[in-house]
Structure 1
Amino acid sequence: MAREGYDRHGAELYRFALARLSDDAAAQDVVQETIVRAWRAGDRFDPSVASLRTWLFAIARNVVTDHLIARGRATSLSAAAEAHGEDHMSDQSAAVADADLITRALELISDDHRAAIVETYLRDRSYEDVAGELGVPVSTLRSRVFHGLRQLRTAMATMVVEP
């Protein structure tokens, strides 16, 4: 089904993504990710509900949204870095300390919660992708993230940051 979807609708999906992202590489990534998600979720495709084309475009719309959100985060981080200019070196030191604290705190929470947080927050992956990979419902993954963040905050609050 993924091969058929790509053969029949790949060019159209590319044009759809390019029109929304104005970036050739990002549009190609959207098509690839759309086909991968369709392949992973192939058992959920129901031709009595929607055509293959409609289903693929629904997936593509979600992938485009993910790209736009990621692009917005990257732009915000770049703008923040430029705005701080002179404080950049002290910000780097603080960022290293924060990363160390988070890494040590992640070691103190359960494996399920750690995996949920690392994949969704740190690797910026969608809940649907991570849930599918872990073999759990999206609602279970969301619960793991919620409770994992709570455990992480508690762990970090009890830790002492070393100078």
Structure 2
Amino acid sequence: MLGTPDAEHHRLARRLEEVDRHYRQPLRRFANRLVGDSGRADEIVQETLTRLWQRPRLLDQPATRLRSWLFTVARNLAYDELRCGRRHHEFTTDTDSVIDRHVDDPCAGLADTWVIQRALATLSYDHREVIVHAYYRRATTKAIATELAIPPGTVKSRLHYALRALRHACAAQGVTVAS
């Protein structure tokens, strides 16, 4: 009786065993690279296979689609665990994981740069000039005074009012600094 629910259940169980034999080790290596801990990697693989069992229609998918689904689920579980563990400080890893490595993001300060450029454009020439010298060229008050041929007290005064105007210009763009 091939059409019975028991026969279908056994067919799915055999198929899951095949998938387990074929994908458990590659999934384990993948998860271990992500989380850096073999015990947690085993748990991720087990949860991935459990989720597959809960979606039996996936067992009949082509191998490439099934493989893609398995590795996507394992990756998402690993990332979830790393985020959760990082938030709760519940684990230490055997080695640095791929996620924990610092990567410079070239776009990280882009929004800040745009806000500052727009705010600087609203300043008077004299105020913008002292800001550029002080913060972009890292010049001292004395060096700015010498270069601009103005007294050091004037540099300090312009810098004070320029920063205040810059703060207001940023606030007008919706950007504020928490006190």
User: TM-score, length-normalised on structure 2?
Assistant: 0.39
